[in-house]
Each structure stands twice: as structure tokens, then as C-alpha cells.
């Protein structure tokens, strides 16, 4: 009986091991675990393995100082770790290279970065296991020596090359750069994350490994208007015209269940970190340019036609609205008129009351002239008597029962922050769901956060019911 029990346990263990999905983490010193107290336990691959449990076996093939570049000082391709990673026949591959390529001695080969990255991707994609390959963009570097791992080179040279490589190969890309950009305290030597920093990286990878998607959905097969395609930060973007207006629909690598989406209402691609983070998580990103119409009836009519195209193409009936500055006017005018079509609203240093435009010093600016033309206003008194701003539509906005997030700079010189505080007060008085995050010491620019996590978490929470469907 004891022998039978031992045999059964042995068979069970063998079956469990054979059924494990194998994850290969390739990279340099950060992957290896430099900066942590115990690389075997605290490197991000090790912590990822702990998070994933017995269904996965996470293999760490990191080696310090290695480059993506073939002609770099220490190319990863020439290592035993690279050979072992290929031989592991993995189901999932995380590629975490590029940081060391930012050193001055490697920059002279930067024109070869894209091609070398594509070759690296292909070397894994052609394996018999046909693995899911995920390219990680380098994390932030706080290194002060410009000849070493210089962050400006990472941002302006390396990341664009890696994005293009991922785009051409059609693989997932994770923007890791913002992840620790506000956590210098977790990088004691300015380059390598400590245990907690490695844990943050591991959790992000865990989210991506376990991300639920609809693999069969492709919005481009469902858009029934002629379009061309372009690239947006490593993703395919469909470009078309609607009633003479430029429209954009960016598709994720794979759509999240429920087909959630974020609607950028103004200033396309400005501070796009929230949009990119949501694309990584299966959201679609859309835009329809009605810039000079300032949310008037013509703008809402055009957007209504745009919305119908998107819904017929398969997206969720509710969108997350995103508006920066005057984009808040566009977002809330649409939301007030369509309360059943909104999952949440995120606005940033928002224009919420257009009446203040009448009392700005100096000549009328382009925005004010557009605003007056859009609403048929002739004089400053007409502006002072205008009652079509978001602050005038609080009842309609609250009716939608969707959550609102506002980022507000307390030293905003373009739009008085008092607008946000008064709007918040009115929304709360009617029982609305609103959160204001005050950015102390900031002016109108920059918008968003360098690390968009609070915004992303807000939008994910507001769309959780859709995503789980």
C-alpha cells in the first residue's frame, strides 16, 4: 500500500511538472537580480515564479552587462544563457535588453538596434514551442554619468527602435520605463531595483501573463469604412475620414474581454502613457478630431456617427473618456448628452467653465475665437452669459452614475484650479462619484503623471464589470 501511494505521488508530481508552462526571462543584470539581496529569491523572475505558482516554471537567463546590439561591448547572443534560453523551448519569453546599449561605447551602433532586436525576436518565435514573445522596454535609469546608461538615450533612441521592432514582428511590448520613474528610492545605485522594485516589475509581468483576452477579435475586420494603417507606439492604427474629420482607431495586440476602449477627445498622442498602458491591457484607443468645435452640437453629431461605427465594429457600448485641458469640455459635453454610453471620465487640468475666457488678459486667443465661432458668440458679454460648460451640466453628468477622476495642478496658470474645486463641490452635492488628485507645485503642463498607474487603476476599476464579461 505504501509503495502504491509513493508511486501515485510520483506520477502526480511528474504530470504536474510536464504540464507546467515554461517562461524564459532573458536580459542583463536587472533580470539576473543585481540590486536585490538574494538573486535566487528576489530577482523579478524569481518573484514572478512565486506569484504564478506551480502552473508555471520561470527560468532566469539574465547575465549582467549584456546588450541587444550584436556589436555591443558584451552581446547577449554570444552567451551560454542565450543558448540555454533557446534550448529551454519556452512557452513564453520576456526579452529585457536595451539598457546597456545606452552606454556611450555602444551608441555608435544604434542604427542597428531595430534590426538586431527583430533578429532576437525571430530566434525565439521560430522555436518548436511557438512561444508568446513579450518585449520589455528598459526601465528608467537615474545614472548621472552621461557616458553610462543615460536615460535620455533610452527614451529618445532605444525605446523607439524597440517599439518599431515589436510593431514589425507583431508581438506584445511592455513599457516598463514609467514603472519606477517616481521611485528612485527603490534604485539605490540609480540603475538596479532593490527587492521591492523587482517586486513591482514582477507584478507587472504577472498581470501580462495572466491577462485574459479575446484572441479571435480583430476590429480592423469589422470597420466598414475605407481606412489606411499607421503605427502608434508599436500598435496598429486605422486612419480614416468621417464627415471630413480625421479618425483613429488603435487596436491592442489582443482585445480584453468586453472590448473596453478609451476615447481621447483632444490633443492626440500628447502625454500618451495612460493610453499605452491601457493598450497593453487590451483596451482599444480612439480619436475623432473635432478640435475647433468645442463640444457643440455639430461636434456631438459627428461623434455620434463615429460612436456608431465603433459599436458596430464590436467595441463595448460604454467608453472611458479622456480629456486634457479643453478636452474636458469635449468629454463632458458628450458625457452629459450620452450618460448611458460612459464607463468613466478622466480629465486633466480641465477647462470646466468657459465664462472665464471673457476676462483673460490680452487679445482673444485661438481657442477663444474657436469657442465663440462654435457657439455663435459675438462679444465678451456673450461669453459671460454662456451656460453650456460642464459646470452648467452637472445634473446631466451625475445622471450617468459613472466615476470621474480629475488631475488638477494647484499652480495652473492657464485654467484656474478653482474651476475644478467648484465642479467637485457641485458633483458631490448631487451624489456624484468624483475624485480630485491635486498636483502640488505644478502648472498647466505637464499633463498626466510620468507613472500613470493611478489613472490606469482608476480606469481599470471603472471598467472591471465589462472586462470580466
Contact between 120 and 95 (Cβ < 8 Å): yes
**Cα–Cα dist 106/135, whole Å:** 20
The tally of CA atoms less than 13 A away on the side-chain side of residue 341 is 20
**Cα–Cα dist 151/142, whole Å:** 7
**Cα–Cα dist 388/27, whole Å:** 54
Give me the pLDDT at residue 9, please: 46
Question: Which cell goes with 90?
Answer: 519556452
- The secondary structure of residue 250, as a DSSP letter, is E
**Cα–Cα dist 463/405, whole Å:** 14
Q: Measuring CA to CA, which residue among 396, 387, 438, 448 is closest to residue 417? A: 438
Contact between 355 and 368 (Cβ < 8 Å): no
**Do the domains spanning 17-209 and 219-353+389-467 agree at the CATH topology level?**
yes
Spell out the domain ranges in the chain: 17-209, 219-353+389-467
- Give me the mean pLDDT over the 233-260 stretch: 96
Ramachandran region, residue 233 (left: φ > 0; alpha: ψ -120 to 50; beta: rest): left
Cis peptide before 446 (omega within 30 of 0): yes
Helix (H) or strand (E) holding 263: strand 261-264
Quickly tell me which residue has 480630485 as its cell.
436
Fold of 219-353+389-467: Rossmann fold (3.40.50)
What's the angle, vertex CA 405, arms to CA 404 and CA 407, rounded to 5?
Answer: 150
Q: Which residues contact 269 (CB under 8 A, 6 or more apart)?
A: 232
Give me the pLDDT at residue 19, please: 79
CATH classification for the domain delimited by 17-209, as one of 1.10.760.10, 3.10.250.10, 3.40.50.1100, 3.40.50.1110 = 3.40.50.1110
- The answer to whether residue 11 scores a pLDDT higher than 90 is no
- The answer to whether residue 314 scores a pLDDT higher than 90 is yes
- Percent of the chain topping pLDDT 90: 90
- CB neighbours of residue 95 within 10 Å: 27
- Give me the mean pLDDT over the 281-305 stretch: 96
Query: Distances in Å between the alpha carbon of 287 and those of 55, 269, 275?
Result: 40, 10, 11
Cis peptide before 183 (omega within 30 of 0): no
- The secondary structure of residue 88, as a DSSP letter, is T
Q: Which of 14-18, 193-197, 347-351, 373-377 has the lowest mean pLDDT?
A: 14-18
Q: Measuring CA to CA, which residue among 463, 416, 413, 454 is closest to residue 435? A: 454
**Cα–Cα dist 243/153, whole Å:** 41
- The answer to whether residue 428 scores a pLDDT higher than 90 is yes
- The answer to whether residue 21 scores a pLDDT higher than 50 is yes
**Cα–Cα dist 205/58, whole Å:** 11
User: Mind listing the pLDDT tens digit for each residue in 30-45?
Assistant: 999 999 999 999 999 9
User: Mind listing the pLDDT tens digit for each residue in 80-95?
Assistant: 999 999 999 999 999 9
- The secondary structure of residue 390, as a DSSP letter, is G
Amino acid at each position: 500500500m505504501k509503495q502504491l501511494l509513493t508511486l501515485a505521488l510520483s506520477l502526480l508530481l511528474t504530470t504536474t511538472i510536464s504540464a507546467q508552462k515554461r517562461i524564459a526571462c532573458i536580459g542583463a543584470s536587472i533580470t539576473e537580480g543585481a540590486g536585490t539581496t538574494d538573486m535566487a529569491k528576489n530577482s523579478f523572475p524569481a518573484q514572478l515564479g512565486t506569484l504564478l505558482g506551480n502552473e508555471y516554471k520561470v527560468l532566469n537567463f539574465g547575465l549582467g552587462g549584456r546588450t541587444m546590439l550584436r556589436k555591443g561591448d558584451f552581446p547577449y547572443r554570444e552567451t551560454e544563457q542565450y543558448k540555454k534560453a533557446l534550448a529551454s523551448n519556452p512557452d513564453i519569453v520576456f526579452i529585457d535588453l536595451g539598457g546597456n546599449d545606452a552606454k556611450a561605447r555602444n551608441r555608435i551602433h544604434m542604427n542597428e538596434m531595430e534590426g538586431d532586436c527583430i533578429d532576437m525576436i525571430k530566434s525565439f518565435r521560430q522555436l518548436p514551442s511557438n512561444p508568446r514573445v513579450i518585449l520589455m522596454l528598459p526601465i528608467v535609469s537615474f545614472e548621472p554619468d552621461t557616458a553610462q546608461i543615460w536615460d535620455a538615450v533610452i527614451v529618445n533612441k532605444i525605446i523607439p527602435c524597440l517599439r518599431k521592432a515589436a510593431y514589425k514582428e507583431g508581438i506584445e511590448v511592455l513599457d516598463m520605463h514609467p514603472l519606477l520613474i517616481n521611485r528612485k528610492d527603490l534604485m539605490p545605485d540609480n540603475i538596479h531595483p532593490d527587492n521591492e522594485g523587482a517586486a513591482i516589475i514582477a507584478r507587472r509581468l504577472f498581470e501580462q501573463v495572466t491577462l485574459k483576452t479575446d484572441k479571435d477579435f480583430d476590429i480592423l475586420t469589422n470597420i466598414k469604412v475605407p481606412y489606411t494603417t499607421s503605427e502608434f507606439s508599436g500598435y496598429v492604427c486605422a486612419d480614416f475620414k468621417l464627415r471630413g474629420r480625421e479618425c483613429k482607431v488603435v487596436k491592442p495586440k489582443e482585445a480584453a474581454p468586453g472590448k473596453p476602449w478609451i476615447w481621447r477627445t483632444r490633443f492626440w498622442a500628447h502625454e500618451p502613457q495612460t493610453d499605452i498602458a491601457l493598450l497593453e491591457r487590451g483596451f482599444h484607443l480612439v480619436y475623432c478630431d473635432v478640435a475647433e468645435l468645442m463640444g457643440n452640437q455639430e461636434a456631438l453629431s459627428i461623434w455620434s456617427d463615429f460612436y456608431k461605427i465603433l459599436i458596430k465594429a464590436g467595441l463595448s457600448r460604454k467608453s472611458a473618456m479622456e480629456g486634457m485641458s479643453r478636452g474636458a469640455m469635449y468629454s463632458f459635453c458628450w458625457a452629459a448628452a450620452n450618460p448611458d454610453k460612459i464607463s468613466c471620465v478622466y480629465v486633466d487640468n480641465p477647462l470646466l467653465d468657459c465664462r472665464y475666457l471673457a476676462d483673460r488678459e490680452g487679445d482673444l486667443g485661438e481657442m477663444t475665437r474657436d469657442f465663440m465661432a462654435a457657439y455663435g458668440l459675438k462679444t465678451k458679454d456673450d461669453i459671460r452669459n454662456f451656460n453650456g460648460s460642464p459646470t452648467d451640466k452637472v445634473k446631466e453628468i451625475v445622471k450617468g452614475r459613472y466615476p470621474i477622476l480629475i488631475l488638477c495642478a494647484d499652480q495652473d496658470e492657464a485654467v484656474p484650479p478653482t474651476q475644478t474645486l467648484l465642479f467637485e463641490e457641485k458633483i458631490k452635492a448631487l451624489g456624484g462619484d468624483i475624485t480630485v488628485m491635486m498636483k502640488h507645485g505644478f502648472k498647466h503642463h505637464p499633463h498626466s503623471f510620468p507613472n500613470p498607474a493611478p489613472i490606469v487603476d482608476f480606469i481599470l476599476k471603472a471598467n472591471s464589470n465589462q472586462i470580466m464579461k
